[in-house]
């Protein structure tokens, strides 16, 4: 039956747009993260994150993994790092811009999200600049527990910028390091690090060169920022039994170890497809042998096999570590009652009526209908 031409057309009934009483996403900013770290203590945070990272590595096959997506420029790199298990998806936005300190900005800045896999709902939006420093240090120390000589007490720390204090404390607490030998091209950075570590139970020596710092060390950590094909550690610096924790070589065109150091060592990596592109092993042939670290933790492959063995952890940072760290932040924030709820996702009684959010009356607007702006004139065909 056809309605008369002049019959009124009745609009369908649309469910009212009612806001839910609670937002869905917890936001942890830098001040919140500082409160969490101060309340729990930095050492406890590093130890807990290390435990969670180890547990994640032992669930390696349960994760949907991929190398990170990177956009490179002459000034630096901006990256996205996604990963998921059956329950939670995580990603991190992170940059690396060595020139940022001249602008008053950190070299590395990061934030991340933890979301439900079943719905895609973001549950946590979190600063990750501080958290990345904690998780990187935790991962470094976790690897050294398996790859460095037992009883290691002296570590050379090459590159004394924003990550260095976290590395020093992690190696003190989780590995047993008691002496630090520092070098940075910027002596002020070494003085800063030494001052921050005063009273922390570490004997600190500022050295005149990389070679001077490395001499006699059990462990060598390199955490430099310059985006260049550098050879900070050369073969003549290597001594039997050393463990190299190579952190700074983390994108194409950025290295720290001479290829001769790699060729003479047993090399361990996080996620081989990513490290082949970004790590120090980018210098090596595609068939250069490496061992993924999860295989050491699971017992499938040996770590250090003898005292004279030279080991390298070619660490570029992997999203699995961020997934573990975000879980730590979520749980710590909930336990301590820290963080704000934010409405990152639209909420209404009728999720299909997104447009209705624009026409709903705000709670404090009385009976005034909101305006969507003037209607633009119709465009007639030429």
For the chain, give the number of residues.
382
Q: Based on the residue annotation, tell me whether 287 is a catalytic residue of this protein.
A: no
Among 32, 184, 250, 322, which one carries the catalytic annotation? 250
Asked if 264 and 235 count as a contact pair (C-beta separation under 8 A), the reply is yes
Contact predicate 112/327, CB 8 Å: no
What is the Cα–Cα distance from 84 to 80, expressed in whole angstroms?
14
Rounded CA gap, 94 and 109, in Å?
Answer: 6
Question: 265 near 311, Cβ under 8 Å?
Answer: yes
Contacts of 22 (CB under 8 A, 6+ apart): 341
Which runs of E-coded beta strand occur in the chain? Answer: 25-28, 69-72, 77-84, 88-96, 110-116, 122-127, 154-158, 179-183, 203-206, 219-222, 229-233, 243-246, 255-257, 266-269, 291-292, 311-314, 340-342
Report, as residue numbers or ranges, the catalytic residues: 250
């Amino acid at each position: 039956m056809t309605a008369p031409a002049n019959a009124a057309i009745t609009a369908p009934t649309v469910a009212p747009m009612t806001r839910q009483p609670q937002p869905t996403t917890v936001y942890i900013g830098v001040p919140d993260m500082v409160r969490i770290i101060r309340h729990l203590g930095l050492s406890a945070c590093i130890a807990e994150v290390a435990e969670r990272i180890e547990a994640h590595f032992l669930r390696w096959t349960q994760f949907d993994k991929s190398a990170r997506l990177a956009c490179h420029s002459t000034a630096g790199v901006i990256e996205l790092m996604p990963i998921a298990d059956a329950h939670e998806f995580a990603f991190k936005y992170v940059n690396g811009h060595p020139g940022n300190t001249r602008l008053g900005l950190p070299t590395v800045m990061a934030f991340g999200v933890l979301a439900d896999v079943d719905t895609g709902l973001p549950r946590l939006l979190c600063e990750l600049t501080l958290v990345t420093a904690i998780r990187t240090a935790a991962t470094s120390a976790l690897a050294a527990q398996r790859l460095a000589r037992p009883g290691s007490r002296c570590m050379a720390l090459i590159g004394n910028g924003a990550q260095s204090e976290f590395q020093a404390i992690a190696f003190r607490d989780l590995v047993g390091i008691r002496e630090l030998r520092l070098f940075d091209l910027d002596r002020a950075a070494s003085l800063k690090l030494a001052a921050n570590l005063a009273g922390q139970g570490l004997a600190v020596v500022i050295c005149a060169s990389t070679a001077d710092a490395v001499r006699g060390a059990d462990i060598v950590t390199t955490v430099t920022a310059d985006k260049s094909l550098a050879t900070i550690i050369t073969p003549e610096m290597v001594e039997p039994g050393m463990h190299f924790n190579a952190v700074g070589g983390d994108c194409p065109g950025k290295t720290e170890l001479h290829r001769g150091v790699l060729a003479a060592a047993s090399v361990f990596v996080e996620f081989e497809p990513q490290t082949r592109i970004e790590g120090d092993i980018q210098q090596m042939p595609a068939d250069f042998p490496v061992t993924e670290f999860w295989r050491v933790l699971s017992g499938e492959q040996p770590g250090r096999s003898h005292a004279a063995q030279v080991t390298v952890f070619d660490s570029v940072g992997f999203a699995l570590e961020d997934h573990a760290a975000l879980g730590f932040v979520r749980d710590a924030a909930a336990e301590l009652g820290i963080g704000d709820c934010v409405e990152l996702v639209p909420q209404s009684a009728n999720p299909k009526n997104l447009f209705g959010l624009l026409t709903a009356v705000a709670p404090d607007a009385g009976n005034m209908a909101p305006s969507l702006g003037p209607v633009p004139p119709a465009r007639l065909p030429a």
